[in-house]
Chain A
Amino acid sequence: MSREFEFDPLSQRYRVINGPGKGQYISYDAIANLTEQYIEQSKIEIDSLTNQLLNRQIKVSDWERLTAKQLRDAHTNAYALGFGGIGRMGEREKSDISDRIRTELQYLRGFSEDILNGKLSEAQILDRASLYVDALHGTRERGTESAHYLSGFDEERRLRNAVESCQDCIDYAAYGWVSIGSLPWPGSDCQCRSRCRCHKEFRKSSDQQNSFDLLTQSNGWISNPMETTFKMQTQSPIVNPAGNPTPEQLAKINRYSSLGDITADDVVTVPFYASNNLLWHSNGAWTVPALSNMGELLMGRQFIMNHDWHDISKSHGKIYDYQLLYSVEAPQSAIDQAGDKEINQYIVQRNGYARLILHVYFESGSKILQDIRFGRIDSVSTGVLTAGNDSFICPICSERFGKDIRFNERDDNGKSICPHDIPTPFMLWLFEDDTEANFAPFYYRTLNKSEGAHGIELSAVLAPDLPLAGTITPNKMDVL
């Protein structure tokens, strides 16, 4: 049975109204992934035209005209995807699309002239043609912004999604919330240009003034991964396997070498599934932004044994890179591990599934590589310093208030906001028989550098608090 959708201007999201998943909202990531697929399809069509040109089957003028028409229809669809469907669009939106395409066609003319003048190789022609398709990201963003503006949203901010953003995009994200239309569209006025993967987020300023009073409204709290900026991979995860480093990896490794002369034969790099946002044995779960911050904080830190922070001889390797993988759903095998299945399902439904991969290099021929190879070492645990009690977030009160609420949070009058107790194993043991205890079902932990958090190490351990944390072996590929 095929699905039918409606677009809700209030939430600016699509919702299934018929077919599988009826009633569910479609996530931002799902629409972003659909756009990616559409762009790949469009690239195939443009590549086909360009190959006809390279094979002298069509003239440059024909190629230019046919490419322009393909781009026109593709931009129209990309805009519609961002705007909320073609049924909502009218003359205003058509004019907006025309402006966008006109700019692209002016670039296309410059491209055609470069081809005619023999300035480009065949490879350069193919590569440059694909850039025009990448620009569809920006057109969808433009449609999204337009739809928000018409629905009364008046503030925006730029968020980064690419693993490596250019300095312009980093600067735009740093502005935070500004009036809608103040920031460039992703893909314009930045060094990434059409390959920019940033997006904008929107809100109504009036909602911000009242949000804390909406005691009965569930807004989703700040642990939402889209509420922060970090390097995040939402596409199919590609994790480089263990082995001698690639040239790119070697360059990163040498950033942490005092002599800077490490060669690919000197070291072996090993990826570790270091953490995720699901439940630990001790009833806690990292927020998604905490995992991102953890990756940043652990760059350049050591791989040691048994969290022994007092013995430098326990250091065996160094963390030199990280990846934060993210998807809206988690494999059942991941949900089934780490304690309470129902809580894990709730976390994934609310915040998605994020996992932190840490890349560590070890000296070639070292004993620890044999330990890892033969499985004598396979589990790991991250070592960090958090902001203490301020880093414990109550899931119940956060849900209730629509923002992160600490267990020790107080209002302006100094009155405690959260009535719940933190369910750490020690607290549960201590107050097991206390009839006045009011434990939350679990707790979130944050990790903010601005609050004094530090990254210390990644340890090899026998029994990790997070069951999945360890080496990435074939039997664990499904949880990546």
Chain B
Amino acid sequence: MEQFEPIFETLPPLAKLLSIADDIDLERAASKWRNNPPLEGFEAILDAVEAG
């Protein structure tokens, strides 16, 4: 593979990138696996209920 040439592009402020980390949505993350589970058992494990 070859060297990737320099690109003249401006990135958004770092704060904007880091704000993605604050947008944690448990349901959204897990729903990816519920709707189209590529791993048998994974979505069921995520949906585990607490014993007792």
Contacts and interface: CB of A to CB of B under 8 A. Distances in A.
Contacts of B12: 61, 65
A101 B50 contact: no
A113 B23 CA distance: 23
Bin chain B's interface residue count.
35 or more
Nearest to A117: B6
Interface in B1-52: 1-7, 9-12, 14, 17-18, 20-30, 32-33, 38-39, 41-42, 44-52
Nearest to B23: A72
Q: How large is the interface on A (under 10, 10 to 19, 20 to 34, 35 or more residues)?
A: 35 or more
B21 A101 contact: yes
Contacts, number: 157
A115 interface: yes
A411 B22 CA distance: 56
Contacts of B41: 3, 34
A121 B44 CA distance: 40
Contacts of B51: 6-10, 15
Given A102-B21, A105-B21, A116 B11 contact: yes
A86 B38 contact: no
Contact of B11 (A5, A14, A113): A113
Nearest to B31: A73
Q: Residue among A8, A76, A125 with the most chain B CB within 10 A?
A: A76
Given A9-B51, A41-B38, A76-B26, A109 B46 contact: no
B47 to A, nearest CB: 6
Nearest to A72: B20
Which among A9, A38, A86, A115 has the highest number of chain B CB atoms within 10 Å? Answer: A86
Contacts of A122: 1-4
B46 A85 contact: yes
Contact of A7 (B21, B33, B48): B48
Contact of B39 (A37, A59, A61, A115): A37
Contacts of A109: 11, 14, 17
B46 A77 contact: yes
B10 to A, nearest CB: 8
B46 A94 contact: no
Contacts of B27: 86
Given A14-B45, A60-B9, A84-B48, A72 B21 contact: yes
B17 A108 contact: yes
Nearest to B49: A6
A56 to B, nearest CB: 9
B44 A5 contact: yes
Interface in A103-143: 105-106, 108-109, 112-113, 115-118, 120-123, 125-126
A87 B33 CA distance: 15
A68 interface: yes
Contact of A86 (B7, B10, B14, B46): B46
Interface in A61-81: 61, 64-65, 68-69, 72-74, 76-77, 80-81
A120 B49 contact: no
5 contacts: A9-B50, A14-B45, A61-B11, A65-B12, A109-B14
